[in-house]
Amino acid sequence: MEVRRTEATQWRLLKRVRLAALTDSPAAFGVRFETAAHYTVAQWQEYAAGATGTEFWLACVAGEPVGMIGGGLSRTQRYTLIGMWVAPRMRGSDAAERLVAAVKARARESGYHRIFLAVAPDNIRAARFYRKQGFVFVDERESLASHPHITVQTMVWSADEDVEE
């Protein structure tokens, strides 16, 4: 398995895996499938190139994407993990850990020692996974933009407190 940051030329791969994620887990992301499906080629190229301020990584097996993750600065200037997804057939492999490790490494390279993410606390599998990666819940909640009836809670990882890396 290879984890690599996307480039503009890989927009088709990013689009394919992002739409698969939105189909598989529609209530887990801040954008709806219907919105992402209508992005233009130029928008997908910008996302793949990291031109929007968020970089994306794909986990690939034999060149085929089986997972994705994004990381970058939020509008509040926090380094934020977004868009984490692993194909159902690859869940339980090390794909998720490797994707999170890529974001942690990039955050550190960029001078950030904390990474934030938002997850629905009742998404037990995701919350448990993030805890194993060193993230802890903090007392910040908001409605998920794509599904306002879902409340997500902030988790944070601190490089200064990460003993496993």
Sorted by sequence, the CB contacts under 8 Å of residue 86 that are 6+ apart come out as 59, 66, 67, 93, 95, 96, 99
> Model's pTM, two decimal places?
0.92
pLDDT score of 39? 97
Alpha carbon 11 to its chain's center? 16
Please say whether the beta carbons of 83 and 29 come within 8 A.
Answer: yes
Instruction: pLDDT band for 165, please (50, 70, 90 cuts).
Output: very low
In this predicted structure, what is the pLDDT of residue 122? 83
Average pLDDT over residues 106-134: 94
Per residue in 50-88, pLDDT (tens digit) is 999 999 999 999 989 999 999 999 988 999 999 999 999
For 34, residues 6+ apart whose C-beta sits below 8 A from its C-beta are none
What is the per-residue pLDDT across 7-58, written as a single tens digit (0 to 9) for each?
999 999 999 999 999 999 988 898 999 999 999 999 999 999 999 999 999 9
Compute φ and ψ for 162, nearest 5 degrees. Answer: -85, 110
What's the average model confidence in pLDDT over 112-137? Answer: 94
Domains of the chain from N-terminus onward: 2-161 (3.40.630.30)
Assess contact for 117 and 130: CB atoms under 8 A.
yes
User: pLDDT at residue 107 above 60?
Assistant: yes
Please tell me the distance from the alpha carbon of residue 99 to that of residue 70, in angstroms, as a whole number: 9
pLDDT of residue 12: 96
Tell me how far CA of residue 120 lies from CA of 7, 36, 125, 134, 147, in angstroms.
30, 21, 10, 17, 11
pLDDT the model gives residue 149: 86
pLDDT over 50 at 101, yes or no: yes
pLDDT tier at 162, thresholds 50, 70, 90? low
* Pairing assessment for the beta strands 136-144 and 114-119 based on DSSP bridges: unpaired
Span 152-158, average pLDDT: 94
Asked if pLDDT for residue 137 goes beyond 60, the answer is: yes
Exposed / middle / buried, residue 99 (Cβ in 10 Å: 0-12, 13-18, 19+)? buried
- Structure confidence at residue 14 (pLDDT): 97
Identify the DSSP state of 56.
E
Residue 3: which of 45, 55, 60 has the closest Cα?
60
DSSP string, 87-109: -GGGTTSSHHHHHHHHHHHHHHH
